[in-house]
Amino acid sequence: MSGSDGAPPDARDLLRKYELQPKRAFSQNFLIQSSAIQRIADVVTELGQEVVELGPGLGALTHALLARGCRVTAVELDRDMVHVLRREYAGEDRLQVVELDAAEFDLRKHAKIRGSKLVVTGNLPYQATGAIVRRVVDDWDAVVGAVLMVQKEVRDRLVAEPGHKEYGALTVFVQAVFEVETVCRLRAGSFYPAPKVDSTVVRLMPREAPLAEENDAFRAVVRAAFQTRRKTLRNALRNLGDPDRAARALQFAEIDPARRGETLSIVEFARLAEHWTSAG
């Protein structure tokens, strides 16, 4: 059993030990570069010691966090990975392993149980990245910060500005409540098996004052605006079922109905959502 002492476990050794193979269905690419693991652990612990790790896999980052004195809640969907973590860290009372889809883990509830805001981290599987990031956004007031490994194209979406081709609904939802910073880039060779693209570590820090209230109206307006990118706002908002209300909201928000959603700033989306509510 590896525990939290000594060198972090190498994913390839653990796969052999437990006679496992990486699963494509879970987009499993395990971080194996020691310097990257240590760098990420340092960035996480700068933010706090109460950590939720989403998708810990075989526990390389988990090990580094425990070695730094963190209390870690590891949320893992793959039952085989859960088994490995519980075996390798048996008796480690600072680690709780939860078998659950990371996108379903209630960060706000967990923060109340722990009596502390959380640092969220993880190597996010590509096919689940959007859902997991949305969970972090939904529970943003329960976190002190998030340090996430994502594919480069996801990073590009998270930091995009209005008018950029990568600017979309996910951009707006994240930047409404978080400031997004790039920490470092991870080459494909940092992982086993190596993915086809490079990854990036991003840090999400809660804004002192959110740019928008992420209520139902805000989410509905943003999603409608990006549902068909080439449509004008006049036509896009008709998908919400009330063209007259859409016209009034655009007028009161002082937004040209001929504009497209990807040109609006987050503040403009917030204003449009506010007037969508009052125009009902």
- Reduced to 3 states (helix: H, G, I; strand: E, B; else coil), residue 84 is helix
Cα–Cα distance list, 237 to 146, 250, 280 (Å): 33, 9, 13
pLDDT at 2 over 90: no
Given 181, 206, 231, the domain boundary residue is: 206
Question: How far is 246 from 236, CA to CA, in rounded Å?
Answer: 9
CA dihedral (153, 180, 189, 128) positive or negative: negative
Q: How many CB atoms lie within 10 A of CB 36?
A: 21
Q: Which long-range contacts (CB under 8 A, 24 or more apart) does 159-168 make?
A: 159/202, 162/262, 162/263, 162/264, 162/265, 163/262, 163/263, 164/262, 167/262, 168/226, 168/262
Say what the pLDDT of residue 57 is. 97
Same domain, 70 and 175: yes
Residue 123 maps to a domain: yes
In this prediction, residue 142 carries a pLDDT of 98
Residue-wise pLDDT for 167-192, tens only, equals: 999 999 999 999 999 999 999 999 99
Give me the percent of the chain exceeding a pLDDT of 90.
93
Residue from 66, 36, 35 nearest 50 by CA: 66
The pLDDT of residue 7 is above 80: no
pLDDT in tens, 193-212: 999 999 999 999 999 999 99
* Sheet of 199-206, strand order: 95-99, 71-76, 50-54, 118-123, 143-151, 199-206, 178-186
CATH of residue 65:
3.40.50.150
The pLDDT of 139-158, averaged and rounded, is 98
pLDDT of residue 36: 97
Q: What is the mean pLDDT of residues 92-99?
A: 98
Percent of the chain with pLDDT over 70: 98
Alpha carbon of 220 to those of 227, 230, 246, 251, 256: distances in Å?
A: 10, 18, 12, 18, 19
Q: Are residues 227 and 159 in the same domain?
A: no
Does residue 238 share a domain with residue 103?
no
Residue 279's pLDDT is: 82
What's the pLDDT score for residue 280?
73
The model carries a pTM of 0.94
Q: What is the pLDDT of residues 58-86, one digit of tens each?
A: 999 999 999 999 999 999 999 999 999 99
Domain boundary among 157, 179, 206: 206
Residue 3 forms part of a structural domain: no
Residue 18: DSSP 8-state:
T
CATH number, position 271: 1.10.8.100
Looking at residue 1, what is its pLDDT?
A: 47
Query: Which residues on adjacent β-strands are paired with residue 192?
Result: 30
| 19 in the same domain as 107 | yes
Domain hosting residue 234, numbered range: 216-278
Given pLDDT bands bounded at 50, 70 and 90, which one contains residue 229?
confident
Work out how many domains the chain is built from and give that number. Answer: 2
Average pLDDT, the chain: 96
Say yes or no to pLDDT of 6 above 70.
Answer: no
128 and 166 belong to one structural domain: yes
Do 202 and 227 belong together in one domain?
no
Mean pLDDT of 263-275: 98
Say yes or no: 155 and 246 in one domain: no
Name the pLDDT band for 260 (thresholds 50, 70, 90).
very high
**Shared-domain flag, residues 146 and 65:** yes
